[in-house]
């Protein structure tokens, strides 16, 4: 029996279905609506997507070519169109996730207006966007299935089985969301409460970073301040308790370390014995030995390796780490997080360099063999310049003639048609596959792609439409391309739910339904 028919039978089995009071209710319509709304709650979504992500992690451990990807989305419509496009081009959504960037929340979704990535936006904004994204993705399911139901109604008898097969094997647009909780927005209780909101909205994976909540900075800016491991682990515990309380036992925690670019800490860690976690954290502090001659009033002093030392304290009352310790601290952060409840790690680097990332992952995997990395293929990197410089350095090491190139000017267009540029572009093209294989990167994401694409496409439209091209600027560069490339939202009335509304009107009112999809609907032009 097909899924459609079994769902019809299930609806027919409702006790009141065949009574005179419900004589106007059609069991097949009930079945269709149930199939179009498979996920009833955010918790249903979180459980479903967590199991997907766990399976993907297991598959990656067996075969690094099975890495996963996502793009940051700042609106439900953007996420919806992304998944519709993925299904159109690749036939499946497998290993394709959504990333919810705290940066984009701050810049685009705060009621305060555009904000920097410093955790100043409303605590409810993240959960609200998760809910919005899944609302749009569920609508994408309903829209596509609605189209199949209409095809089924209009199909000849011999074609109906093919369409029913498509309905039975329908692949949902619902995919995992990795959601950014920043540094937890306060103490561990605040982190727990916010995590619950996010999970209830549908998040199966929560990313949290080891910066202080009240001084939080973007991972690609200066001024980052980390916290001792005990503080961070308490927040990891808070997120895990939130998952378990809500019954999402497979929930995923991504622990991000900003230590590579963070030279400051607000606290000296508590240590009880030499070599413990607090002592390891403090060992990276920039200190000087205290003597009777250099002791000052108000000095903060600690005992370290049998000596009394003074950690370097800045006018901001922050303490400074020794320069050049970032990689060691990242490795310690990552191992500690994975040993204490995190499922995946995230190392925020200053450049996309597989050798640098792989070196740290090799050290981490000596202690945690199956360690897996979530990596930000960040728009904050100048990818063209970075990779051209990497190729330049490789050519120099191999003794190649580089007289035609200026390393500091490799962004220049004059180099675009050179062997160096072509090799760099190929390395960018294969970066994800290479990094997944050589540096343990399970999930590749881009935090802000749709922020930049929205700006670029709007700039192009504004330049043409308000310029000499006039209406042709829209028709040639937008609408005509939509039609020819099969972009679903060219039929924007359909995308907004007009056809589904017509279906429902027919279910509810029968022949008396006033439908929008008549002969005079201009969408018929497409």
DSSP string across 476-521: IIIIHHHHHHT-GGGSHHHHTTHHHHHHHHHHHHGGG---S-STT-
Cα–Cα separations (whole angstroms), residue 28 to 3, 17, 221, 488, 525: 12, 11, 56, 27, 31
d(CA 492, CA 388): 42
Question: What percent of the chain is modeled with pLDDT above 70?
Answer: 99
pLDDT in tens, 39-98: 999 999 999 999 999 999 999 999 999 999 999 999 999 999 999 999 999 999 999 999
Say whether 489 is catalytic: no
Strands 225-226 and 252-257: unpaired
**CA–CA gap between residue 182 and residue 210 (Å, rounded):** 9
Q: How far apart are CA 361 and CA 353, in angstroms?
A: 13
Cβ-based burial of 322 (10 A; exposed 0-12, middle 13-18, buried ≥19): middle
Contact 269, 221 (CB under 8 A): no
Measured distance CA(286)–CA(318) in Å, rounded:
12
What was the pLDDT predicted at 197?
98
Report which of 212, 310, 320, 313 is spatially closest to residue 264, judged by C-alpha positions. Answer: 320
Minimum mean pLDDT among 26-40, 43-57, 218-232, 330-344: which range? 218-232
pLDDT digit string, tens, across residues 166-191: 999 999 999 999 999 999 999 999 99
Which residues neighbour 292 within 8 Å (Cβ) at sequence distance 6 or greater?
none
**Residue partners of 302: CB distance under 8 A and separation at least 6:** 268, 282, 287, 308, 309, 311
Q: In the predicted model, is pLDDT for residue 349 greater than 80?
A: yes
Provide the pLDDT confidence category of residue 478 given band limits of 50, 70 and 90: very high
3-class SS at 202?
coil
Tokens of 325: 């310790």
For residue 426, is it left (φ>0), alpha (ψ between -120 and 50) or beta?
alpha
The encoded tokens of residue 421 equal 């540029």
User: Catalytic one among 73, 204, 218, 330?
Assistant: 218
Q: How far apart are CA 523 and CA 493, in angstroms?
A: 7
Phi, psi of 288 (to 5 degrees): -135, 145
393-439: per-residue pLDDT in tens? 999 999 999 999 999 999 999 999 999 999 999 999 999 999 999 99
Residue 222 has pLDDT above 80, yes or no: no
Task: Please provide the size of the chain in residues.
Answer: 526
Q: Which CATH class is domain 42-266+340-382+435-456?
A: alpha beta
Cβ proximity of 285 and 321 under 8 Å = yes
What's the whole-number mean pLDDT along residues 227-245?
Answer: 97
pLDDT of residue 221: 61
Interatomic CA distance for residues 81 and 485, integer angstroms = 14
| Cα 84 to Cα 461: distance, rounded to the nearest angstrom | 23
**pTM of this prediction?**
0.93
Confidence label for 211 from pLDDT (cuts 50, 70 and 90): very high
250-290: pLDDT as tens digits: 999 999 999 998 899 989 999 999 999 999 999 999 999 98
3-state secondary structure of 404: coil
Residue with tokens 């940051």: 72
DSSP bridge partners of 226: 211, 265
320: its two tokens: 């400074």
Q: What is the pLDDT of residues 437-461, one digit of tens each?
A: 999 999 999 999 999 999 999 999 9
Give me the residue spans of the domains in the chain.
1-36, 42-266+340-382+435-456, 467-512
Spatial separation of the C-alpha atoms in residues 207 and 99, rounded to whole Å: 10
């Amino acid at each position: 029996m097909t899924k459609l028919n079994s769902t019809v039978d299930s609806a027919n089995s409702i006790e009141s279905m065949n009574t005179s009071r419900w004589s106007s209710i059609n069991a097949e319509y009930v079945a269709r609506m149930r199939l179009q709304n498979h996920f009833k709650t955010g918790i249903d979504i979180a459980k479903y997507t967590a199991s997907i992500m766990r399976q993907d992690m297991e598959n990656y451990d067996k075969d690094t070519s099975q890495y996963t990807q996502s793009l940051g989305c700042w609106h439900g419509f953007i996420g919806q169109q992304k998944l519709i496009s993925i299904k159109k081009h690749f036939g499946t959504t497998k290993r394709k996730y959504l990333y919810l960037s705290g940066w984009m929340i701050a810049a685009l979704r705060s009621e305060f207006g555009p904000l920097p990535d410093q955790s100043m936006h409303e605590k409810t904004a993240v959960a609200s966007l998760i809910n919005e994204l899944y609302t749009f993705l569920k609508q994408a399911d309903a829209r596509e299935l609605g189209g199949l139901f209409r095809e089924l109604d209009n199909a000849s008898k011999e074609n109906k089985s093919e369409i029913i097969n498509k309905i039975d094997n329908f692949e949902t647009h619902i995919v995992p969301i990795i959601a950014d909780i920043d540094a937890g927005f306060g103490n561990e209780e605040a982190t727990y409460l916010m995590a619950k909101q996010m999970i209830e909205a549908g998040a199966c994976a929560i990313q949290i970073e080891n910066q202080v909540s009240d001084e939080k900075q973007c991972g690609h800016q200066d001024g980052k301040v980390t916290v001792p491991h005990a503080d961070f682990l308490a927040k990891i515990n808070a997120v895990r308790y939130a998952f378990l309380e809500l019954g999402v036992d497979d929930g995923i925690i991504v622990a991000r370390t900003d230590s590579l670019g963070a030279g400051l800490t607000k606290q000296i860690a508590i240590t009880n014995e030499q070599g413990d976690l607090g002592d390891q954290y403090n060992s990276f502090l920039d200190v000087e030995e205290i003597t009777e001659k250099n002791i000052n009033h108000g000095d903060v002093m600690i005992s370290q390796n049998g000596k009394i030392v003074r950690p370097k304290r800045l006018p901001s009352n922050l303490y400074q780490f020794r320069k050049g310790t970032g990689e060691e601290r990242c490795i310690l952060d990552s191992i500690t997080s994975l040993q204490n409840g995190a499922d995946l790690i995230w190392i925020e680097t200053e450049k996309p360099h597989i050798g640098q990332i792989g070196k740290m992952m090799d050290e981490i995997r000596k202690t945690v063999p199956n360690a897996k990395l979530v990596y930000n293929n960040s728009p904050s990197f100048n990818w063209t310049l970075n990779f051209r410089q990497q190729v330049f350095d490789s050519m120099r090491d191999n003794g190649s003639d580089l007289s035609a190139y200026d390393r500091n000017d490799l962004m220049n267009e004059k180099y675009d048609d050179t062997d160096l540029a072509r090799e760099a572009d190929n390395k960018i093209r294969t970066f994800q596959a290479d990094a997944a294989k050589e540096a343990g990167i399970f999930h590749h994401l881009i935090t802000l792609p749709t922020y930049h694409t929205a700006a670029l496409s709007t700039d192009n439209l504004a330049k043409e439409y308000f310029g000499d091209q006039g209406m042709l600027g829209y028709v040639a560069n937008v609408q005509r391309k939509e039609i020819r490339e099969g972009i679903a939202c060219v039929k924007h009335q359909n995308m907004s739910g007009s056809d589904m509304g017509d279906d429902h009107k027919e279910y509810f009112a029968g022949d008396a339904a006033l439908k929008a999809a008549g002969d005079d609907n201009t969408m018929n032009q497409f």
